[in-house]
Amino acid sequence: MRNPRQLRLRMLSIPVLFIGLVFIARLYNLQIQHGKEYAAEGEKQYVSTSGYTYERGKIYMTNKDGERLEVANIAQGWLLTINPQLVDDAEAEQQQIAKLYPELSHDDFITKAANKKVKYAEVAHRIPDATGLAISALHLSGVQLFRETWRTYPGGDIGGQVIGFVGHQGDDFEGQYGIERYYNEALTRNEDNIKVNYFAELFGSIKNVVYDRKEEERGDIVLTLEPTVQAQLEHTLSSVMEEWHSKQVGGIVMDAKTGAIYAMAANPTFNLNEYGKVKDISVFRNPLVEDVFEMGSIMKPLTVAAGIDSGVISPDSVYNDVGVWKLNGKTFRNYDGRARGPNTPVQQILSQSLNTGAAYVALKMGREMFKDYFLNKYQLGQETGIDLPGEAHGLMSGFNSTRDIETATASFGQGFAVTPINTIVALASLGNGGYLVTPHVMSEIVYNNGTTRKIVPPTPVPILKPGTSEKISRMLVTVVDKALLNGKARMADYTVASKTGTAQIASHDGTGYAPGKYLHTFFAYAPAYDPRFIIFLFNKEPQNVDYASQTLGQPAMDLVKFLLNYYNVPPDRSSGEEKPLFPKQKLPITPIVLPPATSTTPQGATVTRTTT
């Protein structure tokens, strides 16, 4: 028979052992997993009540060889403070410090040192580490240095609207725009755990002490943005804006088959390290995702492709181009008002950008079929699901009209407004075999425990027949080879599919169009029959110029050439012959859903109206 006393001791040892394991787990969490954070917090509380240290995940871009480049990280330095009551000679001390740190404000230092009623005043933030140590070695009376950390962006203004920044949200620092905001939860390091009472946490929730589920969701964000491509796009936009004195320019470079964003930028932009100096905070917005525009004639390829896909026309069809057309009491016309007459090839709808030709295709399809393609297949006006905040819905009410005039004008990009990201996704379907992709800017997340998870967007949705993709691509190649820049844009070794658009911008009072104000747009994908990428550019209110081909034609084609060379894309023309690959091409996509985007339509979205 067992000794009752021995049995009781064994029974008591079980909870003691369990509590001991909990303490060991907690000590591992404190000393190993969060040792750096607790040390920083302890140092801050020891030396100062105002110094601020924190940790946050890094953000990387990825170059074409798979190497990562930091674009957001944490910097460490020093906070310089003084005790005015202990400062003996303010002028002398300021001069000594200024020799090591010239950025120190003379007047601010002297003014704060003269206020003998206080014992603490901050005179300089973010002093470099070596400089802070050198100042400390001076042993100046009343001068103190405390550890300080802050968010820093090594690229400065590179990718400003996409990356976003960290700023005050009440008493906390949180992501305010871009990736910093969208993936704020993943990037945040839980500082609340540092400040919580250990025993209260232990006995209040043993489960959470042993295993913090949120911790596994935190890590560093690796973007699909390619740093060299991003820099080249921003250089192109800057050059266009400078040459044409534009109000705003923007662009996207995307993988046409997967939706991975290689570059996204807008100008005016800002320096991420100096966002507090920005006077017009509208530059923080990402117009490629948050603003809607009437896109104009770059929508005509979608109309022609729908006509081909539905079987109402073929690339060899002809029609009677009347030049000017009146429907439901409203008149619209070709950009020059001229009729091309009977037996006009549908190719000229794209090559000469004929409004009445696009209307002919849409009305031949019928209102409901045309609407189905634009709203349900191309999904224009809907959110794409891109992993950036504030994505806007399009303005698509015109498609609910029963009048033919709304169908006709929609066929050439008038009467509805969509975001640039929505536009490029729809246009990509023309080149990638007829698939609708999900655009995304994150490629993987590196968790705090060292593991990595690659993010793959949802499987592309087939919306067009593969044969349609090849046919419309061939027509758009003809546009480049024979029409764009009068045929000078043709490349000897590559096929490029492209179309421009020029749209008038509505006046602020809503009574018509603002004279002389245009939105220019351009898209292209290459190689045309097996596209490695697709680009989209817009140029808002260029000065003293009418057409997009004038402002965007050459810069865009230069960007295409750069991309083909940079990625070492094999030529698809041999002795001038094209090599169509559809329908044999397949998309190697594995379905893993991205985190859901916030559904918002922000105030102040830009809307333009189209005439050509």
CB of 398 within 8 A of CB of 414? no
pLDDT band at 510 (very low <50, low <70, confident <90, very high): low
Which of the pair, 164 or 590, is modelled with greater confidence? 164
CB atoms closer than 10 angstroms to residue 324: 13
pLDDT tens profile 523-559 = 999 999 999 999 999 999 999 998 999 999 999 999 9
Nearest residue to 237 via CA among 517, 559, 568, 607: 559
Please report which confidence band the pLDDT of residue 189 belongs to, taking 50, 70 and 90 as the band edges.
Answer: confident
The answer to which of 105-114, 398-407, 448-457, 589-598 has the lowest mean pLDDT is 589-598
Q: Does domain 246-437+463-578 have CATH number 3.40.710.10?
A: yes
How far are the Cα atoms of 217, 395, 403, 421 from residue 450, in angstroms, in the given order?
Answer: 12, 44, 59, 33
Alpha helices in 500-574 (DSSP H): 548-551, 553-566
Residue 219: φ, ψ to 5°: 175, -165
* Number of neighbouring beta carbons within 10 Å of residue 477: 23
pLDDT beyond 80 at 578: no
Per-residue model confidence (pLDDT) at position 209? 34
| Predicted local distance difference test score (pLDDT) of residue 508 | 73
- pTM given for the model: 0.81
What is the C-alpha separation between 229 and 62, in angstroms, rounded? 10
Pairing of strands 59-62, 219-223: parallel
Reported as a single tens digit per residue, the pLDDT across 233-281 is 999 999 999 999 999 999 999 999 999 999 999 999 999 999 989 999 9
Angle at 365 between CA 299 and CA 372, to 5 degrees: 65
Q: What are phi and psi of 206, to 5 degrees?
A: -60, -35
Give the pair of three-digit tokens for residue 572.
């698809």
At 441, phi and psi to the nearest 5? Answer: -115, -10
d(C-alpha 365, C-alpha 515), whole Å: 34
The closest alpha carbon to 355, from 376, 383, 327, belongs to 327
DSSP 21-54: HHHHHHHHIIIIISHHHHHHHHHHHHH-SS----
Phi, psi of 472 (to 5 degrees): -70, -35
> How far is residue 358's CA from residue 350's CA, in Å, rounded to a whole number?
9
Mean model confidence pLDDT for the chain: 85
- For the chain, the structural domain boundaries read 246-437+463-578
Torsions phi, psi for 210 (to 5 deg): -70, -35
